[in-house]
Every structure is written in C-alpha cells, then in structure tokens.
A and B are shown apart, each in its own frame.
Chain A
Amino acid sequence: MVKKIGSWNLRSLLFILPVIVVLIFLDFYPIAYSIYMSFTNFGEFHFFNYSFIGLENYIRIIRSGFLWQLLWQNAIYAFGSVALFAPLGFIIALVMNQRGLRGKTFYRTAILFPWAYPAFITILIWQGMLDYRFGIINELLEKIGIKPIYWLGTPGTAMLSIILVNLWLSFPYYSYVFTSAMQSIPTELYEAAEMDGYGPLGRLKNIIMPMLSRQIAFVVIFGFIFTWNNFYIPFLLTGGGPGTSTQILITYSYSSAFSYLQFGIGAAYSVISILVLLVVVIIANHYSKMMTVLY
C-alpha cells in the first residue's frame, strides 16, 4: 500500500519533484540572485569587491530620465505591435471564414510561412531587405516612384520597422487563433441572423464580436505581455539604435550587462521590466479573470 498523507500520496510527489527542483534552483534562485544583484554595484569596476548599495541603482536609473524614455519606447513597441497584428489577424480570419470561398487551403498554408520559419533568421533577412542603399524594399519602392526610406536609420522609422517586422512575424498566429475561434460559433447562429435580415456588418456586430469578446480580450492581453519582453526583434533588427531610440527595457538590460559590463544596473532594468509586466498581469486579471484557467 502506498502511504497516504492527507489527501495526497508520496508516489505522486515523485512525479512532480524534478520540476520543483527546477523551479527552485533554475527559476527562483536566479530571479532572487538578479534582484540581489540589482542592489549591488557589481560591474566592471567592482568585479571582485562589489558591495550592497541599497536602492542606489534604481535611484540612478530614475534620476537619469532614461527610464521614462525606455518605458515610452517599450510601450510604443508593445501597443503598436498589438494594434496592428490583432486587427489584421481578425480581418484575415473574417475574410477566410466566408462560406464557399475557394482556395482556402492554399491561403492558409501560405499564411503560415512567417510562423514556420525561425524568427531569429527572418529578422536578419528583414534587416538586409530594409537596408537603405541596397535593400530590396527601397528598390521596390523606387520602381513605383517612392523615394527610398531610411528604414533603420532614423529613430521614428526604426521603431516603425520593428513594429512592421513584428506584424509579419505575428499575424499568422493571430489569424489562426481568430479563425478557429470563429469556426467554434455554431452556423445556426449565422443562419438565424441572416433570416432576421442582418448583413455582414450586422452579423459581425451582433454575433461574432459578442461571442468572441473573451477570446479577443485574452489575445490582446497575451499579445501585449508577449511583445513587451520580445527581445530578438529590436536586438537583431536595430540593435537598439540608432542611438538608443529603439531600446526597450529588456534589450537595454542586456546591453548594460554585457556591452557596458554594469551588471547591477542591467539586473535593475530587468527587474523593472518584470515589475511593469506583473502590474499589467494583475490589472488584466482583475478585469478579465484570465487566471481562472486554473480552476
């Protein structure tokens, strides 16, 4: 007989034990270590004799005024991306959801391309395509009479490029999610609406939107959370440049640590990035109860 303690037994503990070990040693310990580092002057000049300096890193970060710039850029990156990829995904799903539309399989397969190819590589491909002098995008624009654009060379267009590349990377997933959500709406509802004389817009407003409101909220919130710390698009496409105009908290944390060798400051930026996200998650949970997936 397996020994029972309360309502659980020792054998089931054995199944979960490895994951608890991972959680403690490879998640909580590093996070605690990061938080501790953010309270020290650990860096190039105090590599072997670093000491606890309390909130000094945070005070320096806030006083520098740079934090507000980073938060602003991070917010533009995350909101800008969600504001493009969620609606585009939704529109594609609406168009694909039409009854009797031919070539659905072809379209669906082609749309999956950006999702299927590793993002790490396609971001670098985009970097070449967006080159000012030789990039194919500017050459194509020239053919239709548009002057070449400094895609990655000026602060505004660099951020725009990042958001557009993120749109390319993300819309397949969102169109897929919205398509399967729309397919879960019973067809009788559409038919009933048609009988009642609703046109396409009426069906959108009175059936699709209300039926999918929960999924839409979920997708938008998760899109934001995922984009907030999505490191590789700014890191590979612009490297945070020109200047620091496309740095976000997580990329700046990484460069502080590994390019400027200020590990304490770098850790502090990553802690701030996590805190912002936690606040967003708590607020989102308050309104949409997404944590109820646990019950």
Chain B
Amino acid sequence: MKNDKGKYYRRIRMAKRIVSHLFLILIVIFSIFPIYYVLLMSLSPLSNLSQMSVEKLIPNLTYLTTGNYAAILYHYPFLTWLKNTLIFSASATFFGVLLAISSGLALSRMNIPLRKVILYMMLILSLFPFVIMVIPFYFMFSELGLVNSYTGLIIAYSAGAVIFASWLIKNYVEMIPKDFEEAAQIDGYTKTGALFRVVLPIAKPVVIFALVLSFMGPYTDYALAGQLLTNPDMYTMAIGMYYVSQGTVSMNYGTYSAFAVLMGIPIFLLFFAFQRYLVSGFSIAMYK
C-alpha cells in the first residue's frame, strides 16, 4: 500500500519533469528560430524570399555558400556604413558614459544642491523615448548647421545615453557600503580619489552595462539618423538596412540576411561575453 503511494508520487514527479522540459524546449525553439533562420538564409544562394521553403530549413552542406557575405562586403557600401556607425556609437558611448560616471558618483556620494529635483527630472526623462526628441533636434541641428555632420549626431546620442546611464550608476553606487571609501580615506586617498579609485572599480558591472546600452542606441538608430543624414557617404548600417527593407535599395534576400548577421552578431557576442555584468546591472539598477 505504502509502496504504491510512493510509486504514484514518483510518476507525478516524472510527468511534471517531462511537461516542464517539453515546455522549455518549445520556448527555446521559439526564441532561437528567427536567428537560426537568418543565419541559414545568409548562407543560402537566395535571390528573393520566394526561394525559401520548409525543406531548406535543414541545412544541406553542399548547398551552403559564403557568396552573400562577399556580396555585402564588396558590392555594397557596407564598410562605409560600418565605419560611420562605429564613429557615432563609440564617440557617443565615450562621452555619454564619462559624464554619467561623474554625475552618478556625485549624485550618490556628494551633497548637491537641488539633488532631489535633478533626480526626479532624470527619472521622468528616462521614461521618454529618444524618438520624441527627433522633431525638435532636427530643427535645432538644422539651425546650427549640424545636418550631415558627425558632431551633431554625436551630441544628440551622448545626450540620449547620459541620463539613463547616470541614473543606473547612481543607483548602483548607493548600494555599495561607504566603508570602502572610508577605509581608503584613512589610507590617504582624498574623497574624490577614493570615489574614482575604490568605488568606481566596485561599480564595474553597472559601468559595463551603461557602456553596452549607450553603444546600442546609436548602433540601431534610424529615427534621428535617417532624418539628419542625407549624404549617402554618412549613412549608418541602420539606415542601409532600413532602405533595403523598404525596397529603396534592392538587394538579394540572401545578401540582406548576410547584412543582418554581420550587423547583429557582434552585439550578440558582446551580450554573451558580458552577460554576467549585464544581467546584474539590469536587476540592480531597476530595483533598489
């Protein structure tokens, strides 16, 4: 009798495990399918979407080709787009995060006049998307002669990055016990020195998180860049990708997929390389 009951519970537990695994496998298929699909398309000789079929979802090694990658690299201005994207993203990340570190440390550890007012404003501003700023930025930068210039967009992107990044850094630093700096000050550091040499290294996860977030904004921005950049020599990858998707620039679907892979994979790898930091940065910044 007792044995039967044990068996019954074991069976229930078994069933629960199987259902759990089936559910998770379905979720995994759902989550990786589009990326698998685009990777496969990029390696297939496709001139348009109609040549893709369910049978081709299982890769056939004799059929795969790297021709699409050669095409996107040599027959389209991909390298120019890449160069421009990197100029915008790297500069904006550098300036945005630099300012964010300084203000994040100040807001969490120094006495600042109107501190609470600044924090409220930053919190409210961080709720609003960058797209809302596109209309006013477009006219402000036109008046300043900053259309088709690196400077204009770098200023706009740095501003876009700095508010949220300061907010993240401020929240994270507030969770670090003050003992560290106090000990450092006893060891002869100045207050500012202790902040930059002792507290900042502890805040590494959130700084990395802010770096990646700030880099991502300009990297995939079409809304502002598409309006402020009219000179094809200054186009970014996001503008190129948008024009192909709209049919303004015609491209084989396989080549388009190769473009999507080349543009996306670096970020994808970066994400997994810093996953540990990203994920802790996210959770700590959002809930205090």
Residues of A within 8 A of B (CB): 6-9, 11-13, 15-16, 18-20, 22-23, 26-27, 29-31, 33-34, 37, 92, 95-96, 98, 101, 103, 106-107, 109-122, 124-129, 131, 133-136, 139-140, 143, 168, 171-173, 176-177, 180, 215, 218, 222, 225, 229-232, 235-236, 250, 253-254, 257-258, 263, 266-267, 270, 273-274, 277-278, 281, 291, 293-294
Q: Which residues of B sit under 8 angstroms from A109, Cβ to Cβ?
A: 272
User: Complex Cα distance A68/B131, Å?
Assistant: 22
Interface membership of B102, Cβ < 8 A: yes
Q: Which residues of A sit under 8 angstroms from B216, Cβ to Cβ?
A: 118
Q: Flag if A125 contacts B260 (CB, 8 Å).
A: yes
- Minimum CB–CB distance from A241 to chain B (whole Å) comes to 12
- Minimum CB–CB distance from A233 to chain B (whole Å) comes to 12
Within 8 Å by CB of B54, from A7, A29, A143, A281, lies A143
Q: Flag if A116 contacts B102 (CB, 8 Å).
A: no
Q: Which residues of B sit under 8 angstroms from A116, Cβ to Cβ?
A: 267-268, 271-272
Q: Give the contacts of B89-132 with A (CB-CB under 8 A).
A: 99-100, 102-103, 105-107, 110-113, 116, 118-125, 127-129, 131-132
Q: Which residues of A sit under 8 angstroms from B28, Cβ to Cβ?
A: 106-107, 110-111
Q: Flag if B105 contacts A293 (CB, 8 Å).
A: no
Known: A15-B103, A18-B103, A122-B34. A229 touches B129 (CB 8 A): yes
* Chain A interface mostly: helix
Q: Which residues of B sit under 8 angstroms from A278, Cβ to Cβ?
A: 124
Q: Which residue of A has the minimal Cβ distance to B105?
A: A15
Q: Flag if B268 contacts A117 (CB, 8 Å).
A: yes
- Minimum CB–CB distance from B64 to chain A (whole Å) comes to 17
Q: Which residues of A sit under 8 angstroms from B35, Cβ to Cβ?
A: 113-114, 117, 122, 125
User: Complex Cα distance A273/B220, Å?
Assistant: 23
User: Complex Cα distance A16/B100, Å?
Assistant: 9
Residues of B within 8 A of A (CB): 16-17, 20-21, 23-24, 27-28, 30-32, 34-35, 37-38, 48-50, 52-54, 57, 99-100, 102-103, 105-107, 110-113, 116, 118-125, 127-129, 131-140, 155-156, 158-159, 162-163, 166, 171, 192, 216, 219-220, 222-223, 227, 238, 241-242, 245, 253, 257, 260, 263-264, 267-268, 271-272, 275, 279, 282-283, 286-288
User: Complex Cα distance A254/B222, Å?
Assistant: 12
Q: Flag if B275 contacts A112 (CB, 8 Å).
A: yes
User: Complex Cα distance A21/B22, Å?
Assistant: 54
- Minimum CB–CB distance from A40 to chain B (whole Å) comes to 11
Q: Flag if A22 contacts B162 (CB, 8 Å).
A: yes
User: Complex Cα distance A290/B124, Å?
Assistant: 12
Q: Which residues of A sit under 8 angstroms from B159, Cβ to Cβ?
A: 22, 26-27
A selection of 15 A-B contacts at a CB cut-off of 8 Å is A19-B100, A22-B159, A23-B118, A23-B125, A27-B159, A30-B137, A33-B136, A106-B28, A129-B34, A134-B48, A273-B132, A274-B132, A278-B124, A281-B124, A294-B119
User: Complex Cα distance A197/B37, Å?
Assistant: 47
User: Complex Cα distance A171/B136, Å?
Assistant: 33
User: Complex Cα distance A176/B288, Å?
Assistant: 17
Q: Which residues of A sit under 8 angstroms from B116, Cβ to Cβ?
A: 294
Q: Which residues of B sit under 8 angstroms from A172, Cβ to Cβ?
A: 31
Known: A23-B163, A37-B135. A110 touches B31 (CB 8 A): yes
- Minimum CB–CB distance from A175 to chain B (whole Å) comes to 8
- Minimum CB–CB distance from A220 to chain B (whole Å) comes to 13
Q: Which residues of B sit under 8 angstroms from A139, Cβ to Cβ?
A: 52-54
| Across the A-B interface, the 9 shortest Cβ-Cβ residue pairs | A15-B106, A120-B220, A12-B110, A30-B136, A26-B159, A116-B271, A8-B111, A19-B103, A134-B49
Q: Which residue of A has the minimal Cβ distance to B136?
A: A30
User: Complex Cα distance A229/B127, Å?
Assistant: 9
Q: Which residue of A has the minimal Cβ distance to B24?
A: A107
Q: Flag if A267 contacts B112 (CB, 8 Å).
A: no
Q: Which residues of B sit under 8 angstroms from A107, Cβ to Cβ?
A: 24, 27-28
Q: Which residues of B sit under 8 angstroms from A176, Cβ to Cβ?
A: 279, 282-283
Within 8 Å by CB of A236, from B105, B136, B245, lies B245
